[in-house]
Each structure stands twice: as C-alpha cells, then as structure tokens.
Amino acid sequence: MALATVIAVRGSAPRHPGAKLLFCAGGGVLGTVGGGRGEARALLACRDCLEDGRAALLQVPMVGNEIQGPEMVCGGTSITLIEPLADRGPYRAALERLARGERVLFVKGLTGQGAGPVTVAVALLDQDGTPAWGRVDGASAALAARALELGCPWYDEEASVFYDPVLPEEKLLILGAGHVGQALAALAPAVGFAVTVVDDRPELLDRGRYPEEVRTVRSGFPEAIADFPFDRSASAVVLTRGHQQDLECVRALLARSWRYAGFMGSARKTRLVLDQVLQDGFDPARVAALSAPIGLDIGAETPAELAVAILGELVAVRRNAAILPALALAREARRA
C-alpha cells in the first residue's frame, strides 16, 4: 500500500492538512485528497511509489487565472506526502490504541526534499505524548503536544517534520428516540460517528427506524449514561420528551467526562435546567461547558433540519473550527 497525506496547503485547496488517501496494489482506494486533477496526480504518484518503493513530495499548484482554462483555479498549492507503507509496525501500534478510544500522533521526519529521493522516518506517540514507536530527529515536544491536544496536523517546514494526530472513532450517545433523535441517528454515521440511541419506549427503538450500524438501547437515561463508555472521543446529545428527563440526563452527564454534551430546548428551558444544576452544586465550569441550546443557529424548524444543525456543531467541535468562540457567544445570547 501507498499512503498519500496532505501535509501543507499554501492558499486555498480542496482538502486541508491531514487529508489522506490509501492506495492498494490491487488498485483499491480509500479516502480522498481532493478529487479532480490533483487527486489523479496523487494516484499516479502512489502507483510510482509502489513500483520503486520510494517516498515523494507532490506539489499541486492550483493557481490558474482562467475559468475556462485547463489549470485548477482554487488559488493555492497543495503539498502531499506519498509514502510506501513497508513497515506496518507503527500503524498496528496505532490501531491498538485507537481501539481503546485513545488518540495517537504520528511524527514524520522528511529528508531529501530537493531533486533527490525523499526518505521518511516515522514515530508514534501515545495520547499523553509518550513515545510508542520509533524516533524522529528534530521533532519538537511542544509542537507534538499542541497537535495532540487540538487534534490538528501541523507541518514544521523549517525542521521538515509533520505532526499528524489520528483520533479514534467518535462515539455519539443520543438520549431520546423521538423525531429529532431518529433524524440525527440517520445522519451521524455518514460523518464518522458510532451512534447509540437510548430510550425507554420500545416502539421507538424498532430496528426499521435506524441505519444498520446504529445501536439501540432500551433503558432509563441515567442508567444508560452510567453504563456508556465515555472517553475523549465521546459526545452526548439530550433530546428527550420532556424537561424532567432532560434534567435527569444533564445531572448524569455532569458526573461523566466527555468531549461534547448538550441539550435541546428554548432559552427559558435552558436557563431553568442550567440554574437547577448549579443549585445542585455541580462545578460551574462543567456546567458552562454544556452546549445549550444545542446546534447551530441556522433557523432550523423540521426534525431533519434540527438534526443538521446539531450535527454541524458536532463537526465544528471535532475540527476545532475557528467558529467555535462565536458559537459560544451566540449561545450565551440565545440563553439571555
């Protein structure tokens, strides 16, 4: 197999650093580095990589000025690392940790980026920054820690070192199998969430209502929250049928650790629930971390639109999007 990874972008390009494409000797392809002519060049480079066993850096300019001309006009240049996966060791070690819900960091040192061949040294760090495989000269502990914490790749061009965090499969706990919960469960698997839907009403958990990969659990909400395997990659969305059940869920969630948790409701209901858990004595910082009212403010009305708004916020959190501070301010305004 050959792996193509976008490591840097100057200007605008279809995909950002960290985007990957895996090319198998039999011609199978998994993932994408942008599609179009740029991806076609990456596929050709992967074929060459498998033939000669050499890594390469592929620069794809997209700075054409004519909309009817042959050159791509995105406005930037994408730099993609093409490497053979001859040593499976670090990737097997990464998979073991990802299966435990842990994030990992690949550190790749590049040498020979001129006219000669490129060589790649690969190291792997655990989620706490402890070396798990290999070593890369010139790697920065500070940059490694930053990439791990934020989950964002970074290419140190001066040192020729690429820091590439890989996150475990994200788990999404949907508490409430009503209209919005069902709509969210239908959408979330397509963007990489392992979905569990909980409700105490068996008729709402019928398998015909959900995609095959969605797990359903008939249970009380606090019990389901206590049993759920929360970790740094787990999110919870409260969409129950009433404010009392919402309050039960929020209380139970505040006793667990999660990456993201929130509940749906009007500004008044949101204030009442949050005021109550503060009166209960929960840590104000933990209460403030709840997303409520949940979802992007896109004027959503139907269950499907509300599910899109919620999923949009989940993706923004996953990507540490620049919009997050503005979302927090908008949420405070909606609570007022």
3-state secondary structure 175-219: ECCCHHHHHHHHHHHHHCEEEEEEECCHHHHCHHHCCCCCEEEEC
pLDDT of amino acid 67: 45
Mean pLDDT of 121-127: 95
Could you identify the residue written with the tokens 């009212």?
293
Q: Check whether 267 has a pLDDT greater than 50.
A: yes
Mean pLDDT of 118-147: 95
Question: Which CATH code is given to the segment(s) 170-335?
Answer: 3.40.50.720
Q: CA–CA separation, 163 vs 104, rounded Å?
A: 10
pLDDT of amino acid 223: 97
Mean pLDDT of 315-326: 86
Question: Which of 288, 245, 235, 285 is closest to 265 using CA atoms?
Answer: 245
Angle of helix 267-279 relative to helix 324-335, nearest 10 degrees, comes to 90
Average pLDDT value over all residues in the chain? 91
Q: CA–CA separation, 97 vs 313, rounded Å?
A: 27
More confident residue, 35 or 79: 79
Mean pLDDT of 48-75: 72
DSSP 100: T
pLDDT band for 331, please (50, 70, 90 cuts). confident
- What residues does each domain of the chain span? 1-86, 88-167, 170-335
pLDDT of amino acid 61: 82
Q: Check whether 224 has a pLDDT greater than 90.
A: yes
Q: Check whether 173 has a pLDDT greater than 50.
A: yes
Give the DSSP letter string of 139-170: --HHHHHHHHHHT--EEETTTTEEEEEEPPPE
Count CB-CB contacts under 10 A for residue 278.
Answer: 13
φ/ψ (deg, to 5) at 313: -70, -40
Lowest average pLDDT, out of 34-48, 55-69, 136-150, 259-273, goes to 55-69
Q: Check whether 214 has a pLDDT greater than 50.
A: yes
More confident residue, 215 or 10: 215
More confident residue, 34 or 276: 276
Contact 145, 162 (CB under 8 A): no
Q: Could you give the residue ranges of the DSSP H alpha helices within 13-155? A: 36-52, 89-99, 141-150
Lowest average pLDDT, out of 66-70, 150-154, 279-283, 292-296, goes to 66-70
Contact 122, 136 (CB under 8 A): yes
What does the longest C-alpha to C-alpha distance in the chain come to?
67
Give the sign of the dihedral formed by CA 162, CA 22, CA 81, CA 154: negative
pTM of the complete model: 0.77
Could you identify the residue written with the tokens 């501070």?
325
Please state the separation of Cα 311 from the chain's center in Å. Answer: 12
pLDDT of amino acid 90: 96
Give the sign of the dihedral formed by CA 144, CA 148, CA 150, CA 151: positive
pLDDT digits (tens, 9 = 90+) for 176-185: 999 999 999 9
pLDDT of amino acid 64: 52
Q: Check whether 73 has a pLDDT greater than 70.
A: no
Could you identify the residue written with the tokens 């204030």?
271
pLDDT band for 115, please (50, 70, 90 cuts). low
Q: Check whether 45 has a pLDDT greater than 50.
A: yes
